[in-house]
Amino acid sequence: MRVYEVLFIVAPNIEESDIDTLVTQLSDVSTNQGAHIAKIDRMGRRRLAYPIGKFSEGHYVVFTLEGTGAEIAELERRMRVTDAVIRYITIRIDEDLKRAEKFKARRVARAAASAGSRRGRRAEPVLPIGDNEEGDEEEAEL
Amino acid sequence: MSSEQRDHGRRDDRGGRQGGGQGGGRRFIRARKSCRFCADKVDYIDYKDGRLLGGYIPERGKILPRRISGTCAPHQRMLATAIKRARNAAILPFSLD
């Protein structure tokens, strides 16, 4: 399963109640296609960094959903034909999240290892040389 | 392919205390800039965090080079991606006058 983050901006001239129905409509579309919606985040009305169409403000809504990717196509198609949605962006985040997990685990492991050995490793070089994984700078820095 | 060599290249990129090589004259020794994201133990830079990203776009709205900010390479990559995503989401501008 892949995790996606779908952000869309609803035009500012839409009533709050209409946004609610739109949000439920769109979430229904994705659940009907087999996606599981993990989170719906309504970030509220925000200023746009640049005008989109004739609007300089918009309601930001973020869906976090799990799916195969097929439902994204349908969801995007629906948003494309909905005039109230002035911008949408879909980002696949499962790989990023996995990477973040990995870094975190490594950091925890390293902290445990250094706490176990000794204190005051100030004199040691920044690069952990003993750490020889098929790695690159990434792990040296993180 | 020693790690020393690699390290050297990276240090050049970020402007550290390594000076300018053999170019004689005065050499300034400046403390090495450190990566803010490493210090804060950030694993993922969220593109929706406009306030955080805003600090990395100076007047023209360009992405601040790591030469200036001291951000490490992996975090600079994440940062650049996040900024580009934020631009499409109208959270950050593409350009500022």
- pLDDT tens profile B85-95: 999 999 999 99
Q: Which residues in chain A have their CB less than 8 angstroms from residue B47's CB?
A: 91
Q: Is A124 left (phi over 0), alpha (psi -120 to 50) or beta?
A: beta
d(C-alpha A76, C-alpha A73), whole Å: 5
d(C-alpha A106, C-alpha A112), whole Å: 10
| Range ranked top by mean pLDDT from A28-37, B35-44, B81-90 | B81-90
Tell me the residues of A at the B interface, defined by beta carbons under 8 Å apart: 7, 9, 43, 46, 48-50, 52, 58, 60, 62, 87, 89, 91, 96-97, 99-101, 103-104, 107, 127, 129, 137-138, 141-142
**pLDDT for A30 beyond 60:** yes
- pLDDT bracket for residue A24 (50, 70, 90): very high
What pLDDT does B23 receive? 57
Query: B residues 53-92 near A, CB within 8 Å?
Result: 72-75, 85, 87-92
> B93 — contact with chain A (CB < 8 Å)?
yes
Q: Which residues in chain A have their CB less than 8 angstroms from residue B72's CB?
A: 137, 141-142
Q: Which residues in chain B have their CB less than 8 angstroms from residue A46's CB?
A: 91
> How many other CB atoms sit within 10 Å of the CB of residue B56?
22
What pLDDT does A1 receive? 87
Q: Which residues of A53-91 are buried (b: 16+ CB within 10 A; e: fewer)?
A: eebeebbbbbbbbbbeeebbeebbebbeebeebbbbbbb
To which residue do tokens 């995790």 refer? A3
Mean per-residue pLDDT, A1-20 = 93
- pLDDT bracket for residue B59 (50, 70, 90): confident
Which one-letter amino acid corresponds to residue A92?
A: R
Mean per-residue pLDDT, A68-82 = 92
What pLDDT does B3 receive? 43
Distance in Å from the first CA to the final CA of chain A: 27
**pLDDT for A41 beyond 90:** yes
Q: Write the pLDDT tens digit of every residue in A80-134.
A: 999 999 999 999 999 999 999 998 999 899 988 888 775 555 555 555 554 444 4
**pLDDT for B15 beyond 70:** no
Q: What is the DSSP letter of A1?
A: -
